[in-house]
Structure 1
Amino acid sequence: MHPAAETAVLPASFVPLRLSDRPLAWKLLAVLLGTLFLAASSWIEVPMLPVPMTMQTFAITLVGATYGWRLGTLTVLAWLGQAMVGLPVLAGGAGGPQHFMGPTAGYLAAFPVAALLVGWLAERGWTGRGIAASFGTMLLGNFVILLLGAAWLSGLIGVDAALHAGVLPFLPGAFLKAGLAAALLVAWRRTGRSAVDQ
């Protein structure tokens, strides 16, 4: 393959906010705003069958993709820290340490892993290759959350019950949220609003 073609197919990186190049004050502000975005997205509930859909995992993968793996992971951890001390930042306005020990613990633990993975792939150009690769990246982040969450849940209620209660009902939402996040990233790149192009 011609070197120019390789560059076109495999962009080096697409992390729109380029926060790794910003001063510390910018990064701290980004973490604060990111936790607010995560909280607000968690409160949004869309009626769907078989279960309602929140925008929580949409926000987690988007933070990873736009912040990069380091700051994206840190932002998700900061948001979980807010939840741990009792702030109502989780889905349904939940908060408190009990959520980190019960059935939702595996999902919460998976959130920073998903942000890290999506951010790492974004820094290697996966979210800048086009809609298919971007969608696959965001969907992978959603799958990581569902699978790690179900792994914990299976220890409490068994594997079959965990799959039926903690994975299958959330698959339609995972596909929709991955598609929306991918579309936003592609639109961001095409409209030239990315800090990469400034």
Structure 2
Amino acid sequence: MNSLATASHSGFSPLRLADRPLVWQVAAVVLGTLFLALSSYVEVPMVPVPMTMQTFAVAMVGALYGWRLGGITITAWLIEGAIGLPVLSGGAAGAIHFVGPTAGYLFAFPFAGALVGWLAERGWNGQRPVLAFVAALAGNAACLALGGAWLAVMIGAEQAFIHGVAPFLVGAVLKSVLGAAALAGLQRVVKR
């Protein structure tokens, strides 16, 4: 039995999308991109990068969908944004966002979601809330590291850390706590 099948049968995901027919998985991608888009509208304006609930949504999609379908869903959402749908931060759209100050964060999202999904498949999920928190925090850290690295190329390492990483550290922890609590609550509901 392959590791994905083993993971799906061990209950890593309360949604069990790996066990569902293709039509369910396609519907999950559509709903996931909608969830990601809605999370983009919850923002605190900051310069040069706004704080949004996107990293929360990215971690949740990864944890609930698994690394493969989560990565596909997040990539689909980014493609929607690149082709002009208003699904990025604050309703932004267009390919220009994939070369500006937010590009590193945007390109980090599929990797972060896949990382959280990969960890969830290995038991870092709602059944173990502390590990779910660490998984979400790792996803947030990946976003900040890759986004900060891209920003450093544009404005220098010190300014990138000051403006593109440090202000988001507390938010990353809080969103990771919220994500772990949501996964643990969902796991309890599904067990009933």
Give your verdict on TM over 0.5.
yes
Instruction: Kindly report which structure 2 residues correspond to 1:13-162, keeping only aligned pairs within 5 A, or say none.
Output: 13-45=11-43, 53-162=51-160
Q: Is 1:172–2:152 an aligned residue pair? A: no
SS state at 2:40 partner:
helix
Per-residue CA shift, 1:156-195, capped at 9, x if unaligned?
111111100100011111111101000011111223x1xx
Alpha-carbon shift at residue 46 of structure 1 (Å): 5.4
TM-score, normalising length from structure 2? 0.89
CA contact (8 A) 2:126 2:180 kept: no
SS state at 1:69 partner:
helix
Alpha-carbon shift at residue 128 of structure 1 (Å): 3.9
Task: Give 1:7's aligned residue.
Answer: none
Alpha-carbon shift at residue 55 of structure 1 (Å): 1.0
One-letter amino acid of the counterpart of residue 38, structure 1: L
CA contact (8 A) 1:13 1:122 kept: no
Q: Identity percentage over the alignment?
A: 59
CA RMSD of aligned residues (A): 2.0
Deviates further, 113-122 or 126-135: 126-135
One-letter amino acid of the counterpart of residue 176, structure 2: A
SS state at 1:126 partner:
coil
Unaligned runs of 5+ in 2: 1-8
Task: Give 2:3's aligned residue.
Answer: none
Q: Which runs of 4+ in 1 moved over 6 A?
A: none
TM-score, normalising length from structure 1? 0.86
Alpha-carbon shift at residue 131 of structure 1 (Å): 2.3
Q: Which of the pair has more CA radius of gyration?
A: 1
CA distance in 2, matches of 1:87, 1:57: 19
Aligned residues: 182
Per-residue CA shift, 1:85-132, capped at 9, x if unaligned?
011101111010000011111101100000100000000101145222
SS state at 1:127 partner:
coil
Higher relative contact order (CA 8 A, sep 6+): 1
CA distance in 2, matches of 1:27, 1:110: 23
Alpha-carbon shift at residue 13 of structure 1 (Å): 4.8
